[in-house]
Structure 1
Amino acid sequence: MTSAAGHVLDRPLWHALSGQQRDLAHGDARALRVDPAIGPFGAARDLGEEAQRALAALARGLGPLAQVEREEVAPAPGTTVVASAPLVQMVCAAPRMHGDHPAVELLGRADMAEMAILAEATEPGPWAPETIRYGAFYGIRERGRLVAMAGERMRPGGYAEVSGVCTDPAWRGKGLAAALIGRVMLGFAERDQVPFLHVHRDNAGAIALYERLGFAIRCPMTVTVIVWNGGAA
């Protein structure tokens, strides 16, 4: 991996929102955040006072704002950190497209209610009414019910993030997640984008699954969630 590519992945939110996914974001050249109807993520251009104050303004009246950086981010003026968790960032330089499943289907707006129910039950990460706007999501139904799904989130530079991976507990251990991740990564390959993802550092089961699919840990990351506290930004 080149040093330039490494820099992109060190700050994936900023590079995605200031680049390919600028249409999903509020803000300006100093700070950007995803439309809250899609998700809570945001990033400042840098750690300077001007950019951090602009980021604080994007937390005012728009709900919690989550940053994903190499280290925990100090609260911007006017904000308070309400949650922080260690992650690992994983990259798949040579995707293994195995575990295909004949029932994999592309999900759309007609499926959003079912997707929200599955996400609420399994907590695959931040989910919002319009999360599907990040990109393609795929699912598998059993007995007419959506029991597993996976999709994409951030697209910084030549990379694309696997996200929203979840399976109903009653259907785990059947290779559904692997099949769905493989289908998501096939879409990335068609766009010539390298898959990456984030997972909580203590989620050994998920890390092991991703390693079987060809992912390797690149570096530790941290998610930091801030809220507006009513102070002066």
Structure 2
Amino acid sequence: MMEHPLDRPVWHMLTGPQAALACGVGQAVRVDPRYGPFAAALDQSDHAQAALAELLAPGEQAWLVEAEEWPAPAGMRTARTAPLLQMVAESPAPVAPDDEAVVLLGAEDADEMAALAIATEPGPWGPLTRCYGNFYGIRRNGKLAAMAGSRMRPTQEFGEVSGVCTWPEFRGQGLAGVLIRRVMADIVAEGRTPFLHSYAGNAKAIGLYESLGFRGRRNMVVTVLERE
């Protein structure tokens, strides 16, 4: 049976549509560290695992998003793992006429975006994470209250919604839903189907995603490996 690209999204994005962001060739790849810590190996063979370890300097971490926990190669250790739910929106909710106005975020917003992402931890964030794709925000009294954007494109058929986060004082106001609908509109306009990953235990977030048209596709695992 042919492997579905969403079963190994990092490998397919870095050897496919987003190969320009990849460091490493052949047996293992990692995204340019300025974009974040994602990496993948061709398989679990000794050669591929050694290539994966060689991509990192001592103390560096790699995040692998796979169908199952990824074993640590020689010279690396498993720092942590977390179960994920991968969700796909075959019929995504469109932008609503009464949606609050959003703004396209850019380089001038980088510091505020990083502060929000680091404080709320929607996923790993690096200096250029905002450059994966369009990120949108909602401001309240001049402050960036919430944001969401796009990240992985494993094939020409799929685009990932990512970086969804809101400062605690602005939660419960529907901002995340407004932003996700806007990001999905971009993905659909590109001819892609939106997908995303949620921490499996985040029932509130999963409920929101379901209300926007996402349905669970499969369980995944993020394995954080650290070079010793």
TM-score w.r.t. the length of structure 1 is: 0.93
How far 1:61 moved relative to its partner? 4.5
How far 1:103 moved relative to its partner? 2.3
CA contact (8 A) 1:98 1:178 kept: no
Q: Which residue number in structure 1 is paired with residue 202 of structure 2? A: 203
Deviations 1:109-142 (A, max 9, x none): 1100010111122111111111112111000000
My pick for the range that moved more, 27-36 or 203-212, is 27-36
- SS of residue paired to 2:178: helix
How far apart are the structure 2 equivalents of 1:61 and 1:130?
Answer: 22
How far apart are the structure 2 equivalents of 1:123 and 1:66?
Answer: 14
Q: Which residue number in structure 1 is paired with residue 135 of structure 2? A: 137
Q: Can you give the 5+ residue segments of structure 2 that lack an aligned partner in the other structure? A: none
Q: How well do the aligned residues superpose, as a CA RMSD in angstroms?
A: 1.4
The reply to whether residue 35 of structure 1 matches residue 32 of structure 2 is yes
- SS of residue paired to 1:59: coil
How far apart are the structure 2 equivalents of 1:62 and 1:192?
Answer: 40
Deviations 1:181-215 (A, max 9, x none): 01101110111011111111110000000000000
Percent sequence identity over aligned pairs: 52
Quick one: which of 60, 63, 68 aligns to 1:66? Answer: 63
CA contact (8 A) 1:88 1:219 kept: yes
User: Kindly tell me: are residues 58 and 104 of structure 1, through their superposed partners in 2, closer, same or farther at Cα, counting changes over 3 Å?
Assistant: same
How far apart are the structure 2 equivalents of 1:70 and 1:64?
Answer: 19
Q: Which residue number in structure 2 is paired with residue 110 of structure 1? A: 108
Q: Which residue number in structure 1 is paired with residue 15 of structure 2? A: 18
CA contact (8 A) 1:36 1:63 kept: no
Q: Which residue number in structure 2 is paired with residue 188 of structure 1? A: 187
Q: Can you give the 5+ residue segments of structure 1 that lack an aligned partner in the other structure? A: none
Q: How does 1:209-224 map to 2 (within 5 A)?
A: 209-224=208-223
How far apart are the structure 1 equivalents of 2:42 and 2:194?
Answer: 24
TM-score w.r.t. the length of structure 2 is: 0.95
How far 1:172 moved relative to its partner? 1.1
How far 1:224 moved relative to its partner? 0.3
- SS of residue paired to 1:47: coil
- SS of residue paired to 2:74: coil
User: Kindly tell me: are residues 135 and 89 of structure 1, through their superposed partners in 2, closer, same or farther at Cα, counting changes over 3 Å?
Assistant: same
How far 1:62 moved relative to its partner? 7.4
The reply to whether residue 159 of structure 1 matches residue 146 of structure 2 is no
Q: Which residue number in structure 2 is paired with residue 54 of structure 1? A: 51
My pick for the range that moved more, 22-31 or 208-217, is 22-31
How far apart are the structure 2 equivalents of 1:142 and 1:41?
Answer: 32
Amino acid of the residue matched to residue 136 of structure 2? Y
Q: Which residue number in structure 2 is paired with residue 125 of structure 1? A: 123
CA contact (8 A) 2:95 2:185 kept: no
How far 1:59 moved relative to its partner? 2.1
CA contact (8 A) 2:95 2:182 kept: no
Amino acid of the residue matched to residue 129 of structure 1? P
CA contact (8 A) 1:14 1:44 kept: yes
Amino acid of the residue matched to residue 18 of structure 1? T
How far 1:98 moved relative to its partner? 4.2
How far apart are the structure 2 equivalents of 1:155 and 1:212?
Answer: 23
How far apart are the structure 2 equivalents of 1:101 and 1:138?
Answer: 13
